Amino acid sequence: MRGAKILIESLLREGVDTIFGYPGGAILHVYDELAHARDRIGHVLVRHEQGAVHAAEGYARSTGKVGVVMVTSGPGATNCVTGLANALMDSTPIVCITGQVPTHLIGNDAFQEADVVGITRPCTKYNYLVKDVRDLARVVKEAFHIARTGRPGPVVIDLPKDVTAAKTTFVWPEAVDLPSYRPAGKGDPEKVRQAVAMMVAAERPILYVGGGVVNADGAAALAALAEALNLPVTPTLMGLGAFPSAHPNCLGMLGMHGTYAANMGVSNADLLVAVGARFDDRVTGRLKDFAPHARVVHVDVDASSINKNRVVEVGIVGDARSVLEQMLLCLDRDMRLEGPPPREAWWATLRGWSSQHPFRYRRRRDVIMPQAVIEELHRLTKGDAIVTSDVGQHQMWVAQYYGFKRPRQWLNSGGLGTMGYGFPAAIGAAKAHPGRPVVCVTGDGSFQMCIQEMATAVQEKVNVKVVVINNNYLGMVRQWQELFYSRTYSEVGMEWLPDFVKLAEAYHARGLRATVPGELRPVLEQGLATPGLVVLDMIVSQEESVYPMVPAGASLQEMVLEPPDDGSEDPEPRDLA
């Protein structure tokens, strides 16, 4: 069997049903075999390789499976680098197969040659250069194992063209033998017991949960623990959905644009239990003032994350779901509680902060407010849509105002902050969940980063709605220039935008636009009810900013709640239900 067919058969053994990719000369043997396997494995032809990785990320993060990318050598491979770096930062399992020039030409500056292993080493969990076809099946088996276990991440398989042409006997390894790679599973039992005892005894505890809980499918165990111990829960941006936003124990997101209750809760807690979170600088603010009164427990599958940014009292290396289940078992077996610890005073303080300072914005009758777009989107989708976003103000408004019910419902670029992620990620999610509503909320700047994937969406007939929060600015950069650079707007104006409605029509999609508040609901209703790709161009208030906000370098206690009063209508609190 030739190498190209071994690759396809190996992918099928790993349960792959969809590949996101773009062909080229160095990978043509594989695409030839792929054509013969169309009844067993699908392929999505993207319009740019960066889009292929983001689409695979959307597929992976919405399903929990490994996303698969296949591209050619040279620029095909280097165009994947942004997506690979994004997947690494957000712990997304990806296997990326890159074509390479024949082995005898490697190092000769051959046409479309690039040192893919060298280029991708810093932005992948692991990478391979396959030089012998007899290694290919084993490498594929190992690559999927590495991508999906431990802290998930991207793995590259660089595949020279002569290897895909060479023939050998196909032998599928039934097991992986990697002595130097032993991903963590359960946590140390004694440390788990110590952590539970601390949670039972604490007067002002906070449970701080990140994307690691989502990756580990630990949401059910998290909810059970929070309810058993009556713990307040605050998710990170990546952890949204790991704990239902409407749950009475949920304080909302913490960090730079988090809730007052979450940030003040962390600042006054006597115990902080971090699960699957990494003390990101956008969460902690000024690190030395983060949770200044708290003893800290940290649960993470990646041992290198423990004590990396914050020195902790108890560090537990383990899979988030496994450790949470160990904690529950410990409660049942060793600590027979008569009921959840009431902590009346602590909850009264937290509830007071929540009611005094909910998310709010100035409502206007003359212009669409971006927050109103997200609130209306939530009402019309009943909070059930898979929502992707790009990066910037719109991302934070979705995080603040959508209200997520479950894990794998919210897909965004949390670590690298990649503009252009949202739309192809939505295509990947829609391929994985053809019966569910998928909405990409993006900005007029971000959408243009991967806008060519409209052709992919139409060709694949995916049911994706793109909501463009259009303010003619790179909004978050403008906000920072307004606040910290004396309103010196430098290169943030998007005066010359395409007509997104006409552009959608040019790609054979549907385009709709809302320009005044009265058009918001009917346009959203029409767009959501229209099958296929629909681009909804929302012309919103140009200089609206995201609040609350913790200024860069400040502590969580120094968060700014509202913009200066400019005399416009009074803010109305958000209905948290």
- CA dist 109 and 82 (Å) reads 23
DSSP state of 569: P
Give the active site residue among 112, 194, 452, 557: 112
Residue 207 in tokens: 């449970």
Contact status, residue 19 vs residue 11, Cβ threshold 8 Å: yes
- CA dist 389 and 54 (Å) reads 12
- CA dist 477 and 480 (Å) reads 5
Give the active site residue among 5, 65, 125, 161: 161
Helix (H, G, I), strand (E, B) or coil at 505: helix
Quick one: which of 227, 236, 240, 225 has its CA closest to 262? Answer: 236
Assess whether 161 carries a catalytic annotation: yes
Element (H, E) at 209: strand 205-209
What is the DSSP annotation of 229-251? Answer: TT--EEE-TTTTTSS-TTSTTB-
CA distances from 57 to 152, 181, 281, 379, 386 (A): 12, 24, 23, 27, 14
Give the active site residue among 264, 327, 396, 476: 476
Give the active site residue among 49, 142, 375, 376: 49
HSE (side-chain half, CA atoms, 13 Å) at 226: 25
Contact status, residue 373 vs residue 208, Cβ threshold 8 Å: no
Contact status, residue 497 vs residue 507, Cβ threshold 8 Å: no
Contact status, residue 423 vs residue 453, Cβ threshold 8 Å: yes
Assess whether 538 carries a catalytic annotation: no
Amino acid at 5: K
Give the active site residue among 111, 167, 461, 525: 111
Helix (H, G, I), strand (E, B) or coil at 5: helix
Assess whether 409 carries a catalytic annotation: no
Assess whether 476 carries a catalytic annotation: yes
∠188-193-199 over CA atoms, to 5°?
Answer: 125
Residue 335 in tokens: 């600590």
Catalytic residues: 49, 111-112, 161, 476
